[in-house]
Structure 1
Amino acid sequence: MFDATLHIPPFNVRLRSPLVAVRRHVETFYPQATLESGRSAFVDFNVEIAPGRGLRRFWRPQVRFLLDGTEPFFPLPAAQAAPMFEWGMNWCVAQRPMGWLVLHGAVLARGGAALIMPGFPGAGKSTLCASLAFIEGWRLLSDELTVLDPVDGMLIPHPRPISLKNASIDVVAGFAGARLGPIYRDTRKGTITHAACPPASMASAGERARAAWIVFPRFEAGAELHVERLSRVEAFTLLSEQSFNGDRMGKAGFEALCAMFDHVTCHELVYGSTAGGLEGVRRICVS
């Protein structure tokens, strides 16, 4: 039985699982995360990745995700145990009331200025995120979750593996420094894998950043590069749609999001290649 408390900034996660795939996933993507044995630490999420029950332990085996002993969603095929941990962690951060506003979007930083790319399906957000991290050297705060602290208006790093799917896998596999894990086929998102977070980003996980740019990327194969400035009102409306807990945050969340827009420029980016996407970000995020 794998049983460890992991520090996955800014959270502590107790993870238990008898499944070898889960242990290997942690050893591959969170090698420095395990807290010292016996060290007392507050645990934000008490997680278990467990085999299916009853006949499901033997016939078409399944895997279950448990948070504090309860199952928030349906089991998956046992071969998807490691991705289930990542998907389950996304759910935990998005759904647990932590006092922070959580949005669906990638966040990267250059110095103390952060770029937010909201996570609309099919937009190519993860591929562009990986391109910026591995090719351009941006610091990865998160591939999936934009975490905003209403108290100081800063974005909180939550660096974890970058989730890649389908055609983006081969693209990112060719990046210098990219380290990919096993490939999982026939998942609810198609064929997926994970790219390890750059070590420099993990080492800087305690450094918050302030939003400076919001970019809505859209990949269209073969498209000419197109960059268009968006009004803050339009961008605010679009980004609000990507909020996981805005309703629960109420006034505090709304005011925090409004305050964030005081410091940003907003753009739509349409591109047809990795090089085009990077060039578009360079145009937007001028020094």
Structure 2
Amino acid sequence: MTVEHSRIRNQPLPLLLQRLSSATLALDYGAAVIRVRSRLEDFARDLRQVYGAFAFLDDAPFADFHTEVCAGQGFRAFIRPQSRFLIDGAQPFDPFPLPQALPHFEWGANWCIAQRFNQYVLLHAGALALGDQALIMAAPPGSGKSTLTAAMMLRGFRLLSDEFGVLCPRSGRLWPMLKPVALKNRAIELIRDYSTDAIIGPVYQGTRKGDVAHLAPDDVSVDARRLPGRPRLVLFPAYRDGAALTIRRLPGEEAFARLAFNSFNYGILGQGSFKIVADVIESCPAFALEYSRLDEAIESVRTMLLESSTMAPAA
């Protein structure tokens, strides 16, 4: 079977649902593998759209997490149908409305990674690469990080992750944790209009984070999900409506504090996380980037990444 024919998007929905029902479907994100069980047909249909480029794995021998997305129980299953997310048979948070089963799974998978994947330093960051030259874009929610990450993938960058900068403490490499990019509210139509190549799943209205849709990772990024990148550039992006592009080089001390703050498990890993974050800041120039026009920002980032190997870190 060719790579193209083995992708999830090319499988009949009944076959995909059969695999999901028997928990033999595994999603390979690169740094982690998640096995998922579900008997929900709408969930299977939505998953096929946003995970379309992923391999249709046949009962992978190992998975880091074993999850399930299932319908609610009791009278509520009939009055207000719900979806439940389970990890190892336990339900870590409240049910979602049944039509929101896919975002429920996405948030659940993110929760699993953030809470339990402590063999790596996990930055709250977008991560992309040109070849093996990688950049880390760390920012708090609402900064426009996901929108910029999505647009960069649609302009030829290899997507490593929208949510997790996965730093290996042994090699210092940045590993893919490749999942669909979560777009919220205005960003959905912005990215839909930005590129005809954008494959965006259903819009889930009125979720706990507003209206949400997911941008599917492209084939190139999925096929390279086992290839780590070498960190070369650190950015702290911020979208400001109507703002002119501004780029400010950050001193190492400020960049270190910002990057450590945008970490899921910095405090848990202690000295190990201090060392790897310090190594990144020592070897990578860091910039604060304010922007309003995507293409202008992307071309500036492309230039900075290509030039970063020749830059000395700021004092």
TM range (shorter): over 0.9
- Paired residue for 1:257? 277
Tell me, in whole angstroms, the C-alpha distance in 2 between the residues paired with 1:111 and 1:22: 34
For residues 201-216 of structure 1, the aligned pairs below 5 Å read: 201-216=221-236
Q: Aligned residue for 2:9?
A: none
Question: Contact conserved, 2:51 with 2:217, CA < 8 A, in 1?
Answer: no
Partner of 1:33: 55
Q: Give the corresponding residue for 1:193.
A: 213
Contact kept, 8 Å, 2:126 with 2:162, in 1: the verdict is yes
Aligned residue in 1 for 2:197: 177
1:156 is aligned, of 175, 195, 211, to 175
Query: Secondary structure at 2:211's aligned position in 1?
Result: strand
1:51-93 CA distance string (max 9 Å, x none): 1221220112221111001111111111110011111111111
User: Could you tell me how far 1:5 is from its partner in structure 2?
Assistant: 2.9
Give structure 1 stretches of 5+ with no counterpart: none
Structure 1 Cα separation of the partners of residues 34 and 180 of structure 2: 16
- Aligned partner of 1:167 in structure 2 is 186
The structure in which a higher percent of residues are strand is: 1
Aligned runs of 1:79-158 on 2, under 5 Å?
79-135=99-155, 137-158=156-177
Residue 16 (structure 1) aligns with: 37
Aligned match of 2:81 in 32, 38, 61?
61
Offset of residue 123 of structure 1? 0.8
In the alignment, is the contact (CA less than 8 A) between 2:50 and 2:199 conserved in 1? no
The answer to whether the 8 Å contact 1:119/1:144 transfers is no
**Alignment partner for residue 237 of structure 1, among 250, 257, 277?**
257
Q: Structure 1 pair 154/72, CA: closer, same or farther in 2 (3 Å)?
A: same
Task: Confirm or deny: 8 A CA contact 1:226 1:280 kept in the other structure.
Answer: no
The one-letter code sitting in structure 2 at the alignment partner of 1:241 is F
Q: Distance in 2 between matches of 1:54 and 1:104?
A: 37
Do the aligned partners of 1:225 and 1:280 also contact (CA within 8 Å) in 2? no
How far does the alpha carbon of each residue in 1:22-78 deviate from its partner, in whole angstroms, 9 at most, with x for none? 211332233443322xx5612211101121221220112221111001111111111
Farther-moved stretch of structure 1 (18-27 vs 200-209): 18-27
Aligned partner letter, 2:134: A
* Counterpart secondary structure, 2:177: coil
Maintained 8 Å contact 2:26/2:60? no
Paired position in structure 2 for 1:42: 62
Q: 2:218 & 2:280 partners in 1: Cα distance?
A: 27
Q: Return the offset for 1:162.
A: 1.0
> If the length of structure 2 is used for normalisation, what is the TM-score?
0.86
Secondary structure in 1 matching 2:76: helix
Residue aligning to 2:10: none
1:234 alignment partner AA: E
TM-score by length of 1: 0.94
Shift of 1:20: 1.3
* Per-residue Cα deviation, 1:92-118 (whole angstroms, up to 9, x for no partner): 111114411111110000121111111
| Distance (whole Å) between structure 2 residues aligned to residue 21 and residue 103 of structure 1 | 32
Q: In 1, distance between residues paired with 2:186 and 2:304?
A: 26
Q: Which moved more, 1:78-87 or 1:11-20?
A: 11-20
CA distance in 2, matches of 1:185, 1:40: 34
Note if contact 1:214-1:264 (Cα within 8 Å) is conserved in structure 2. yes
Segment of structure 1 superposing worse, 257-266 or 5-14: 5-14
Structure 1 counterpart of 2:41, which letter?
A: V
What is the RMSD of the two structures over their aligned residues, measured on CA atoms?
A: 1.6
Q: What runs of 5+ residues in structure 2 fail to find an aligned partner?
A: 1-19, 308-315
